[in-house]
Structure 1
Amino acid sequence: MPGSSGNGAVTRSTLRQQIADALRDEVLAGRLQPGQEFTVKEIAEQYGVSATPVREALVDLSAQGLLEADQHRGFHVHEYTVEDHRGMIEARSLIIEGMFLRLEKSGERYHRPDDPRIAAAVAGIRRRGDEAQRAAAAGDLTILIGYDLRFWRELSALFGNPYLADFLHRLRVQTWVCTVQHLRRLTDLRGQLWSGHPELVDALYHRDTARAHEILTSYNTDSLALVERLAAG
């Protein structure tokens, strides 16, 4: 029947996304190491599901650059280089600079303190930033990544372009995967992680794009220097 077929497709699609999200979190947490190989069968058995949604989830993560397919063998976690990290930061910066430019040219669209929806959205982003700052201070990388991704996703959504928000989110996931592969070499991350989220959202809310630019330039410079240092041993 058409109805049951449709429900089956929705269930499989949902399962596919759940598996992709779970595996992405495993990579971000460093539990799936760079170069680590696995098969569709192994993942299907681990999650107790059929092979089809697993294969689809792995293909999705490969398209996002997190995994690589090994012909006739399975998949493995992509191993990023310092040059990859540098390229990601450059791409990320270009997108964010475009967002800042839109804010400068059409500020009234995004900066309306009297609009309760805008105020509520900014308050939510600020809370995410505060939590990210606390996680960074504690050196809790897993918690920081979760709040950081939510912070940027919600912040970019304010600019009204879902394609821009989605692209930036994917870039930030890739950047975190690359960064985690190096940060896991440190036993104590306190003082090593960026915690400028609250300051950034406050600068943008007040349309101080010059200050926001300074914050992100410092963040990118320090992040790249840390990865370069760790990669060099």
Structure 2
Amino acid sequence: MRGTGTGRGIPARRAQVTRNTLRTQIAEALRDEVLAGRLPAGRHVAVKEIAEQYGVSATPVREALVDLSAQGLIDMEHHRGFQVHRFTPDDFRSMIAARALVVDGIFRAPVHRMLPGATSRALTSIRRRAEEAGRAARAGDLEILIGYDLRFWRELGALVGNPQISDFLGRLRVQCWAFAVPYLRAESDLKGRLWSGHGALVDTIDQRDPAKARRLIAECDEHALDLLEKLTKNG
């Protein structure tokens, strides 16, 4: 069956791909704005304003915001539109606990089933992300760290071979950063205060040492909880 044309002479299938691409690009751009702290918690997000900012129609913007709502970053307000979700310290603690349970389960599996996608080629790519994330963490460069940290954990999650687990862990990672960013950005100097054990974790996976990997991930979670405990008290 031939696709029907649009008013501009673009085939329907191509128009759909273009709209879906716009939807994804806008969702990613808005997610980055939230993670950078430029769209703070509680901020009302106007579809018309975003559409004008990106020079697009309201439809892909609204669809992008619905996608971000499914990821827990945006709240859909009845008759009022959209608002950036406000995470609480208790939310953060529960997210850390949830991801700890899942990750601990992954690394308690038999070594040959633990990370079936952990090929030499995959680990080489992940190691590059780890090096960049570790460098940014040690320098206290928050914005660069967040980008590489999310890529690092996304690629690491993909090694599990289960997209449901990978997506779940990815969402939790994004939500944890969304909560932490306002507190971290309020600090004048983050050098040496952010977890930078990405490279060491890749080494343990390469060495097929699940016990050490679990210890490193537990240290990462404890570091996050301890740091945020201090920052929220100061705030």
Normalising by structure 2, what TM-score? 0.91
CA distance in 1, matches of 2:127, 2:104: 20
Q: Which secondary structure does the structure 2 equivalent of 1:30 belong to?
A: coil
Uncovered stretches (5+) of structure 1, i.e. residues with no partner:
112-117
Instruction: Note the alpha carbon deviations across 1:14-63, whole angstroms, 9 max, x for none.
Output: 10000000000000111111111121111111111100010010111111
CA contact (8 A) 1:39 1:73 kept: no
CA distance in 2, matches of 1:42, 1:60: 18
| Correspondence for 2:71 | 64
Which residue among 41, 49, 52 is the counterpart of 1:34?
Answer: 41
| 8 Å Cα contact 2:77/2:83 also seen in 1 | yes
Tell me if structure 1 keeps the 8 A contact 2:205–2:213: yes
CA distance in 2, matches of 1:69, 1:85: 21
Shift of 1:127: 1.1
- The CA distance in 2 between the partners of 1:108 and 1:23, in whole Å, is 32
Q: Give the drift of 1:101.
A: 2.1
Corresponding letter in the other structure for 1:143: I
Matches within 5 A, 1:74-223: 74-104=81-111, 106=113, 109=116, 118-223=119-224
Give the Å deviation of 1:109.
Answer: 4.7
Cα drift, residue 180 of structure 1: 0.9
Q: Report the CA distance between 1:103 and its aligned residue.
A: 4.6
Deviations 1:71-128 (CA, angstroms, capped at 9, x unpaired)? 22222211111100001101111111122123536369566xxxxxx11111111111
More helix as a share of residues:
1
Q: Percent identity?
A: 56
CA RMSD of aligned residues (A): 1.7
| Rounded Cα–Cα distance in structure 1 between residues aligned with 2:222 and 2:115 | 31
Instruction: Structure 2: give runs of 5+ residues left out of the alignment.
Output: 5-10
Q: Helix, strand or coil for the counterpart of 2:15? A: helix
Aligned length: 227
Structure 2 CA distance for aligned equivalents of residues 77 and 228 of structure 1: 23
